[in-house]
Amino acid sequence: MKLNTKERLKIGRRDQKRIAVHFSYALAVMLGIFALLVLRYGWIQLVQGDELAARVRHETGEERVMQSPRGAILDRNGREMAVSLMMKSLFIDPNNVEKGKEDEVAEKLAPLVGLKPEAVRRDIEQGGGFVWVKRFLSTDEVAAVRALIRSEGYNCLGFQDEPKRYYPNEELAANILGFVGTDDIGLDGIEQAYDDLIKGVVAETFVQTDNVSDRPILGSVSFRKTARQNQCKTVQLTIDSTVQFMVEEVLGEALGETQPLSVTAIVMKPKTGEILAMASRPSYNPNHFDDYPMELWKNRAVSNIYEPGSTFKSIVAAAALEEKMVSPNDWFLDPGFLIVSEKRIENWSGDSFGTVTFTDVMKQSINTCFAMIGLDLGIDRLNKYVRRFGFGELTGIELPGEEVGLLMDPLERPVYDSDIATMSIGQSIAVTPLQLITAMSAIANDGVLMKPYIVKAVYNEDGSVYEETKPREVRRVISSETDKLLIGLLEQVVATGGGQKAKVKGYRIGGKTGTAQKINTESVGYKEGSYIASFCGFAPANDPEVTLLVIIDEPSGGNYYGGQIAAPVASKIFQQMFRYLNVEPSSDPFESQASAPATVSSPKDVRATVPDVIGLDVESAGLRIGEAGLRMRVEGRGTAVSQDVAPNTVVERDSEIVVRFAPEKGGTQ
């Protein structure tokens, strides 16, 4: 049938339409398949990528971690105190141990590296391609294992270089430096505090292995990524390793002589706050830290808190002098003991010193007089100065484990007169050794408190400075005028008072001794027969260059007074430091800045007339009763409202007169 032109065109258009429809279907299918492929590819790459890559790496090889050495720790003069050495660590490839030879390998390898065969057998039984056998082998152990590998053909054994921390001076400054664990983690001291900066660089590598025995393919070790960058910095301390050695040597002698639980000492530069030495005995060797009990790791200078005893009287004296409540030549009557809020405060000797000046009060460390001064100051003013000197807060030293201490806070609980009286003689509060020497350094520094620090600088690998510590003034705590008076008083303590055994011939030294009874941690009150003896001072008194604190915790042998056993230790340390630091002897004869007239002797009559003290304050009443040759027992505070023996009564000399005091109307207790 012959089609005309019109019909042919119609059929052509219909075929074209059909072809277009088929083509559209085909294109849609192709686009759908392509979209599915894209989605599948995206799913594999984005969702399952890490998992599949890890599976491939696990099946074709294994990850290895490479550790670079830590940065060094130096003393102020650049001497190495902690360094890292590259050492061999032994690993085993359990998959490469020949079948049936597991026991043989364990038996032959174990004695060469100081292990038991069972331990090596357990390593083999773990399976896989890499198990540590022993980290940080000695040179002899490496040689022995290499000989074993050569003789027996044990290709299952291998070495990997690892950095090991090494302390060339062994125990020296151990409690400052701390130590490092097997995985290059600082676990104490500066190693812990600066771990993020001095830790070595960790690089992860990938080793391809064959599919038969998981043996590494030659040349397949490839760098993959660095886990940490910009590390390996060097830390330089303010510590002088020579001074540190001197201090530790003297402390070692004291440990043997007095048989205490521990001895602690700190040396500071009062004008800057730099720590020259910080030592404790007994101590430990950080190269073998796990051979020692954890108690010895502790840095007692920053983490121990204790009642400071009479060394704290320097702070009370500073407050009283600054408030113009006392002056070096003011007279006091020491009654021998006080009863404050039913608590008995008595002198260390148990005796009365009679009528004395404030200079004598400092020299003889008279508890009753300091209790009177503290009561007159009151808790608010006393706490103000105590906090000014830095007690009750962290010093911010660059060491872990620093304690804050304990102070009385009227906002937390009521503070009674007995609390104030005991606080004034260094009891009922707790401080750290670092807080105490920082406060004494403020006295040695013209009344200006400096922030203590032990890190001088941190350096980059190229030797450039990463950070540097500068001396920082915290605040002025007392005026320069007051400080000069206080230094004179503290110089008297060492020259002619209770701290005489701290003297060094030719040098002017100021300081204060302390003897504090230890708190009973198992019950209430104090531990019978347990004391902390201490000395805290500075030299030369006319221009202090060093401040020194010595603490002897619970000495044995009967003698426990700070002036008797801590002061001599301080004297030895001072003497050695003066020579090393080239401190010149004083060219001027000793002249106290707080000289006082001689103590007035009491009459020797056996009878005395009781004076009238009603209406007088504690100090005036005590002075009047003392002048009469009698002793006063104080009850309460304020002005005298009654006395148990009527005025003008004749009694035996040295009799006790009980005087009750109460606040004036409108006043506060």
Mean pLDDT of 24-39: 77
pLDDT band at 441 (very low <50, low <70, confident <90, very high): very high
Boundary (domain end) residue, out of 218, 237, 256: 237
Q: At residue 662, does pLDDT exceed 90?
A: no
Beta bridge partners of 533: 515, 552
pTM of the model as a whole: 0.76
Q: Which range, of 28-32, 201-205, 476-480, 519-523, averages the lowest pLDDT? A: 201-205
Token output for 451? 């922030």
Contact 569, 511 (CB under 8 A): no
Contact 266, 434 (CB under 8 A): yes
Quick one: 339 and 460 in the same domain?
A: yes
CATH of the domain at 656: 3.30.10.20
Q: Which residues of 19-37 are buried (b: 16+ CB within 10 A; e: fewer)?
A: eeeeeeeeeeeeeeeeeee
Nearest to 635 by CA among 616, 664, 661: 661
Mean pLDDT comparison of 22-36, 197-211, 307-321, highest-scoring range: 307-321
Query: First CA to last CA across the chain, in angstroms?
Result: 134
Cα distances (angstroms) measured from residue 454 to each of 272, 277, 314, 465, 472:
11, 9, 25, 17, 13
CATH of the domain at 78: 3.90.1310.10
pLDDT band at 598 (very low <50, low <70, confident <90, very high): very low
Contact 442, 227 (CB under 8 A): no
Quick one: 161 and 263 in the same domain?
A: no
Q: At residue 225, does pLDDT exceed 50?
A: no
Contact 408, 419 (CB under 8 A): yes
Mean pLDDT of 447-474: 96
Residue 8 falls within a domain, yes or no? no
Average pLDDT for the chain: 85
Nearest to 236 by CA among 194, 283, 186, 180: 194
Q: Which range, of 7-16, 124-133, 317-326, 476-485, averages the lowest pLDDT? A: 7-16
Q: What is the pLDDT of residue 593?
A: 37
Residue 96 falls within a domain, yes or no? yes
Q: At residue 235, does pLDDT exceed 50?
A: yes
Q: Fill in the DSSP letter of residue 658.
A: E
Boundary (domain end) residue, out of 545, 580, 615: 580
Mean pLDDT of 429-456: 98
Overall number of domains in the chain: 3
- Cα torsion at 313, 315, 319, 321 (round to 10°)? 70
Calculate what percentage of the chain has a pLDDT beyond 70: 84
Residue 274 falls within a domain, yes or no? yes
Q: What is the pLDDT of residue 652?
A: 81
Q: At residue 591, does pLDDT exceed 50?
A: no
Contacts of 98 (CB under 8 A, 6+ apart): 156
Residue 124 falls within a domain, yes or no? yes
pLDDT tens per residue across span 364-378? 999 999 999 999 999
Q: What is the pLDDT of residue 305?
A: 95
- Cα torsion at 448, 449, 455, 456 (round to 10°)? -10
Contacts of 542 (CB under 8 A, 6+ apart): 508, 586, 588
Q: Look at residue 88 and give its three-state secondary structure.
A: strand
Q: What is the pLDDT of residue 73?
A: 97
CATH of the domain at 507: 3.40.710.10
HSE at residue 144, side-chain half, CA atoms within 13 A, is: 13
Residue 222 falls within a domain, yes or no? yes
Q: Look at residue 300 and give its three-state secondary structure.
A: helix
Quick one: 490 and 416 in the same domain?
A: yes
Query: Rounded to the nearest 5°, which phi and psi values hold at 294?
Result: -60, -30
Report the alpha-carbon distance of residue 57 to residue 55 in Å, rounded. Answer: 5
pLDDT band at 223 (very low <50, low <70, confident <90, very high): very low
Report the alpha-carbon distance of residue 501 to residue 54 in Å, rounded. Answer: 72
Mean pLDDT comparison of 18-32, 544-558, 634-648, highest-scoring range: 544-558
Q: What is the pLDDT of residue 297?
A: 95
pLDDT tens per residue across span 344-354? 898 877 788 88
Quick one: 628 and 570 in the same domain?
A: no
pLDDT band at 604 (very low <50, low <70, confident <90, very high): very low
Instruction: Tell me which residue range forms the domain holding 637.
Output: 607-662
Q: What is the pLDDT of residue 13?
A: 65
Quick one: 510 and 448 in the same domain?
A: yes
The residue length of the chain stands at 669
Contact 180, 70 (CB under 8 A): yes
DSSP-assigned states of every residue in 504-547: -TT---EEEEEEEEEE-TTSSSEEEEEEEEEEEEEESTTS--EE
Quick one: 271 and 401 in the same domain?
A: yes
Q: At residue 453, does pLDDT exceed 90?
A: yes
Which residue's entry shows tokens 């505070």? 637
Q: At residue 270, does pLDDT exceed 60?
A: yes
Residue 438 falls within a domain, yes or no? yes
Contact 3, 11 (CB under 8 A): yes
pLDDT tens per residue across span 160-201? 888 889 999 999 999 999 999 877 889 999 999 999 999 877
Quick one: 643 and 561 in the same domain?
A: no
Burial class (CB within 10 angstroms; exposed 0-12, middle 13-18, buried 19+) of 278 = buried
Quick one: 388 and 534 in the same domain?
A: yes
Mean pLDDT of 313-342: 92
Quick one: 229 and 277 in the same domain?
A: no
- Cα torsion at 510, 475, 390, 388 (round to 10°)? 90
Which residue's entry shows tokens 């773990």? 126
135-142: long-range contacts (C-beta < 8 A, 24 or more apart)? 135/89, 135/90, 135/162, 135/182, 136/87, 136/88, 136/89, 136/162, 136/164, 136/182, 137/87, 137/88, 137/89, 137/90, 137/113, 141/90, 141/112, 141/113, 141/114, 142/88
Residue 56 falls within a domain, yes or no? no
- Cα torsion at 627, 632, 636, 640 (round to 10°)? -40
Quick one: 195 and 93 in the same domain?
A: yes
How far is C-alpha 313 from the chain's CA centre?
A: 24
Quick one: 131 and 182 in the same domain?
A: yes
HSE at residue 57, side-chain half, CA atoms within 13 A, is: 15
Token output for 638? 């304020």
pLDDT band at 471 (very low <50, low <70, confident <90, very high): very high
- Cα torsion at 635, 637, 640, 641 (round to 10°)? -80
Beta bridge partners of 660: 635, 642
Q: What is the pLDDT of residue 47?
A: 67
Q: Which range, of 95-109, 319-333, 437-451, 547-561, averages the lowest pLDDT? A: 95-109
Calculate what percentage of the chain has a pLDDT beyond 90: 53
Residue 631 falls within a domain, yes or no? yes
pLDDT tens per residue across span 479-524? 999 999 999 999 999 999 999 999 999 999 999 999 998 887 776 7
Q: At residue 397, does pLDDT exceed 90?
A: yes
pLDDT band at 664 (very low <50, low <70, confident <90, very high): confident
Report the alpha-carbon distance of residue 172 to residue 399 in Å, rounded. Answer: 17
Quick one: 254 and 217 in the same domain?
A: no
